[in-house]
Structure 1
Amino acid sequence: MAGAGGIKIDIDARQIGAVGDKFARAKARMPAAMAHAVATVGPVAMGAMKRELPAQTGLQRKTIDKALKGAVRGPTYVIKSKGGNIRLKYFRARETAEGVSAAPWNARKVFPQTFIMAGWWPNRTKPIARGQVLRRKGKAKYPMEVVKSGLYIAEEMVTGPSAAAFYNTVAMLLPSIIEGVITGAIIGGGAEKAAQDAAAADVLKRYSHVSLNDPLPF
């Protein structure tokens, strides 16, 4: 307010206290807000990764879905991969006269001295081991071994297009969702769960048209 001697500014300490209380509440709620944001973005990012892996590995999408599972662990999202060295059977294997043709890393080639069927050519119609690709260990008929590809999903998911899709999705969505949760549910004082869900839904809707190969929008 203005006075005879100049300008006087009055500050209501109660207002400062109210702001301080909001920030104190915000600090207390941040862990839960972060966990909610991660739980929202994690499955979306894993879905982006799964879309890239079939072309990257040569595996069918249903195989990828069985192998990868995601779970929320507090403020982190963990993706676990089952299985090790993937058997050649799962790479669209088919028998030829020269050996089995299969496509690990989505690059088809023939693996000499391997087979799937029993019998003499050209009447080989019965798989020996439910479609597994086999190779004899020596010159004798037995023993035989199942042929594997050398490809590990756990290694593929953290390299190449699949890793880029995952991290691009996180970078695209997570900051905006966290910002919405902070301003809406925490600082704004709204209903926390409803504001969190609204913030997440808004961001996912705004970026639903963006291709993972596009430049990031910020």
Structure 2
Amino acid sequence: MAIFMARPGGLVRYEGLRSAGATGKSAVAGGTGLVIDVNAAGLHGLADMFAQAVHLAPVAAARALNATNSKVMTQISRVLPKQTGLRVARVKAALKKQNASAGSLVAAVHARGPYLPLSQFGARETRRGVSAAPWGKRQVFDHTFTKGGRFPNRVALQMGGHVFKRLGKSRLKIAMTYGPAIPVEMVKDASREAYERTVARELPGDLNRALGSVMRGF
């Protein structure tokens, strides 16, 4: 397999995978996509088979891509909740499937969304800082807070329940804290591995079945 390379603000490329680069400042993440593209050169042994399929039966090639893409969607929907620390429904709401057609042989799973506030990951304040579980791992974030006043009589701030961190010694300079962004997480680590594994395992069989179905119609 080729190396997965990211260029901030540009394209994330994998031979057979393309995605719009996700950049993050404060709460902005943007969007990404896991793309199965028959015109890309990273499918190795499938390249010749696909070239023939595209020439002889583009409808079959599109069917195969869509069948595999549905399985990719299922797998990353299972992996991302653990990878991000988010609920399944929250992850699925951020994903959208793009189907291939005979005229456009590209199938994809796209994700959009911001970096998510730390408050969405089971945040609770302790004396050391706020405890939260982004990326599926609970940890204490030093010098963060959700309340004001002195322990043990602290009171909730009227700031949406968000987690803040003090910037320097000034009490007035604070910043909201964030956890993962689904578009960023989708194209790396366990999610990327699930994509690669599913395409390698499922696409050859899906292509053979689709070709067989179309050829039987002649």
Q: State TM-score, norm by structure 2.
A: 0.63
Counterparts of 1:1-218 in structure 2, within 5 Å, are 30-73=57-100, 74-124=104-154, 126-149=156-179, 151-185=180-214, 187-189=215-217
Instruction: State the match for 2:4 in structure 1.
Output: none
d(CA) in 2 for partners of 1:167, 1:50? 14
Report the Cα offset of residue 146 of structure 1: 0.7
Give secondary structure in 1 for the equivalent of 2:116.
strand
Give the structure with the larger helix fraction.
1
Give secondary structure in 1 for the equivalent of 2:144.
coil
Q: Which amino acid aligns with 1:33?
A: A
Q: Which amino acid aligns with 1:75?
A: L
Structure 2, unpaired ranges of 5+: 1-52
The answer to whether the 8 Å contact 2:54/2:61 transfers is no
d(CA) in 1 for partners of 2:90, 2:152? 31
Report the Cα offset of residue 181 of structure 1: 1.8
Number of aligned residue pairs: 163
Classify 1:181/1:147 alpha carbon distance in 2 versus 1 (closer, same or farther; 3 Å).
Answer: same
Give secondary structure in 1 for the equivalent of 2:99.
strand
Per-residue CA deviation, residues 69-96 of structure 1 (Å, 9 max, x unaligned), is 2212532222222234333223222111
The answer to whether the 8 Å contact 1:116/1:128 transfers is no
- Percent of aligned pairs with the same residue? 34
Structure 1, unpaired ranges of 5+: 1-25, 191-218
Report the Cα offset of residue 100 of structure 1: 0.4
Q: Which amino acid aligns with 1:182?
A: L
Classify 1:98/1:53 alpha carbon distance in 2 versus 1 (closer, same or farther; 3 Å).
Answer: same
Q: Which amino acid aligns with 1:106?
A: G
The answer to whether the 8 Å contact 2:98/2:109 transfers is yes
The answer to whether the 8 Å contact 1:118/1:128 transfers is no
d(CA) in 2 for partners of 1:144, 1:27? 56
d(CA) in 1 for partners of 2:54, 2:95? 34
Give secondary structure in 2 for the equivalent of 1:121.
coil
Q: Which amino acid aligns with 1:40?
A: A
The answer to whether the 8 Å contact 2:95/2:109 transfers is yes
Per-residue CA deviation, residues 31-73 of structure 1 (Å, 9 max, x unaligned), is 2221222222212211201211222232332332233222125
d(CA) in 2 for partners of 1:170, 1:89? 35
Give secondary structure in 1 for the equivalent of 2:131.
strand
Q: State TM-score, norm by structure 1.
A: 0.63
The answer to whether the 8 Å contact 2:61/2:211 transfers is no
Bigger Rg, structure 1 or 2: 1
Classify 1:123/1:47 alpha carbon distance in 2 versus 1 (closer, same or farther; 3 Å).
Answer: farther
Classify 1:31/1:120 alpha carbon distance in 2 versus 1 (closer, same or farther; 3 Å).
Answer: same
Instruction: State the match for 1:212 in structure 2.
Output: none
Instruction: State the match for 1:9 in structure 2.
Output: none
- State the Cα RMSD in Å: 2.6
